Structure 1
């Protein structure tokens, strides 16, 4: 390589290295700017959350009179809440037959969100006098402790002698025939004693966010077994109608074939094809083909046409 060529090569390598350094510097600056912009986005998101909480608190207060009115109306409907729970796909999976029997005494459910919504909520279950426990109200409360961790606490259930559903090793499936999700069946009422993971309490969240806002939608869910039975009956009736119609059509076909045979025979006796015979019959009674007079038997009928 000549000296001039070596100088050119060193110059190109130098420019390439300088270009890489510039590119890396620009990328680092872009990353820093992206981080700054993202911080602004996060700040706005946090601000939006605070505003949303304020709006939610405002409307929670406005909704309270309507919740109260709704509770008064629900009290007029027997077994409203147990029907609602049985019809809910997630809650029903936790109900054994004895749980369902106990919930027939459930007269009222109420969800109360605390003044600071972020701090938690409470669910109250009011019961009529029943053979299972002494409590009139069972409650479970969810909140945040001083360390910012979610915790829960609940009413201690005062079970009557021999009626503690949480100590029974197994229960029969509920009347709806829905299978339990747990391998070792637990009573619905164990929820009041389970505080292991308050931050992921699915039943509490379902009641608060899904059932409580509009329990009527689950109370009115139709019985799927009844609907299936009605559908089967309709299908059976349609099948019988199809069979009847088919038999009628077959009968009509057989009658038609019999009549057609008789017409052909009559036409043959008069020396006509079927079509000419019918035409002659329309014009007047068909005449027997003439034979010799006297006592001789009539001659064979004259063939009058060469049709059918």
Structure 2
């Protein structure tokens, strides 16, 4: 009974720590949003002042073109300052997020099977997994997502694994070029399959050409794989805890030694060990 309570308390404390990291990250972002809001308010006041000023009277085409060129020349340094300010603001936010992300990563690595449970619990990802995929993911110890905006918008996904019977890679890296409408595959680490699994990996890859986690994992250059990358980058990475911790409703409480115990589900199975 004591070991059960200690195990449950440990799991809950780790989840609380993860929740605190999410709150801290949200507080940092809100602080930055307030600064941006003040800047936008100042810009809006300046726009209102400019609109109150009378515009130019009728002009000849030549005069209008000269006026337009002059305004464009004035606008260029303003645009340059805006780009620089935006870049500096993004870098500042990333620096403030990094210690929280580092601590979150350290906590997650102390929770075996965390990412396997998170991925399996995601409603869209779960439909793309086989039992063997889930077993493969059970060896995953960490996930990292990094984004670069210059010279191009690039999203890098890194999956870290411990020794396993499937492949020899310790880190699998996948990179995507990002634009307004899609994630486009750019690079993927070649998988070094273990000798005992190489034939099975070849069979799985060539007998099923549809969108599934294994095909994305082994070679992401096929239609639809960008959706998996988008889920990892935009959803699971930003808040994995929402797919990890799932509480059973109160009516499913269990009595142990006369005391009610709320069961906590991890990856869809009650963890009572």
Q: Structure 2 length normalisation: TM-score?
A: 0.53
- Tell me the equivalent position of 1:215: 240
1: CA distance, partners of 2:213 / 2:246: 21
Structure 1 residues 162 and 151: alpha-carbon distance in aligned structure 2, compared to 1, 3 A threshold: closer
User: What's the offset of the Cα at 1:154?
Assistant: 0.6
Aligned residue in 2 for 1:162: 197
Higher relative contact order (CA 8 A, sep 6+): 2
Choose from 206, 220, 238 the match for 1:194: 220
Cα displacement string for residues 158-202 of structure 1 (whole angstroms, at most 9, x for unaligned residues): 11233544632799xxxxxxxxxxx9655413214122469x811
Tell me which residue corresponds to 1:57.
91
Show structure 1 runs of 5+ residues with no match.
1-35, 172-182, 232-308
How many residues align structurally?
178
1:85 maps to which of 114, 119, 138: 119
User: Aligned pair in 2 of structure 1 residues 184, 64: CA closer, same or farther (>3 Å)?
Assistant: same
Whole-angstrom distance in 2 between the partners of 1:104 and 1:151? 25
Alpha-carbon distance between aligned partners in 1 of 2:135 and 2:242, rounded to the nearest angstrom: 22
**Superposed displacement of residue 89, structure 1:** 1.1
Q: Could you tell me how far 1:128 is from its partner in structure 2?
A: 0.7
Number of the residue aligned with 1:139: 173
Q: Distance in 2 between matches of 1:87 and 1:127?
A: 19
- More strand per residue: 2
* Corresponding residue SS for 2:176: strand
Change (3 A) 1:46 1:72: same
- Paired with 2:84 and 2:203, the residues of 1 have a C-alpha distance of 44
Residue matched to 1:28: none
* CA deviation string 1:144-168 (max 9, x = no partner): 7xxxx95411100011233544632
**Superposed displacement of residue 54, structure 1:** 4.2
Q: Which residue of 2 aligns with 1:24?
A: none
Q: Which runs of no fewer than 5 residues in structure 2 stay unpaired?
A: 1-67, 254-273
Q: Give distance in 2, aligned partners of 1:62 and 1:122.
A: 20
Q: Report how far residue 52 of structure 1 moved.
A: 4.6
Shift of 1:45: 10
Q: Is the 8 A contact 1:165 1:187 kept in 2?
A: no
> How far apart in 2 are the matches of 1:194 and 1:125?
14
For the 8 Å contact 2:108–2:114, the answer to whether it is kept is: yes
Distance 1:113 1:166 in 2: 32
Provide the C-alpha distance between the structure 1 equivalents of 2:161 and 2:240, rounded to a whole number of angstroms.
18
Specify whether residues 228 and 169 from structure 1 end up closer, same or farther in structure 2 by C-alpha distance, changes over 3 A only: farther
Supply the RMSD in Å over aligned alpha carbons: 4.1
Equivalence for 2:49 = none
